[in-house]
Amino acid sequence: QAVNIGVGTFAVVPAHATVGEDEVLPLERPVFKLSRTLRKFYKLKCAKAKIPDETPSVQLDFEQIAEYIHFRGEIVEQCIHETLLFFAGALRDGKEVEFTFR
């Protein structure tokens, strides 16, 4: 499934890699598709991110994240919103942004 976080949608999509001469290795590739509103507002040109149409999309579940990392839901939600504000400010100022996930 895909997760909509307001500024865009994250998903993991099926892909494959060719290994050796005739061997194909199935894998999954993370994809982020920036929302159309942000692309237009900031006049951004983005690489085409393909998330299959049949992929169900859900909203980010702050309470589930909070339970997993042992923080209160309000703190998780506030941290995510502050990160998104930082991201929007960097876009506004034309800065490069790189997020690293484990």
Residue 95 has pLDDT above 90, yes or no: no
Instruction: Quickly list DSSP for 84-96.
Output: HHHHHHHHHTT--
State pLDDT tens for residues 3-37. Answer: 998 888 999 998 888 888 888 999 999 998 988 88
pLDDT at res. 64: 94
Dihedral Cα 82, 83, 85, 87, nearest 10 deg: 170
Strands 2-4 and 57-59 turn out to be parallel
SS3 81: helix
What are the C-alpha distances in Å from 92 to residues 9, 27, 42, 72, 84? Answer: 20, 35, 7, 31, 12
Q: For the chain, how long is the longest CA-to-CA vector? A: 52
Domain ranges of the chain: 1-59, 61-101
State pLDDT tens for residues 54-88. Answer: 999 999 899 999 999 999 999 999 999 898 888 88
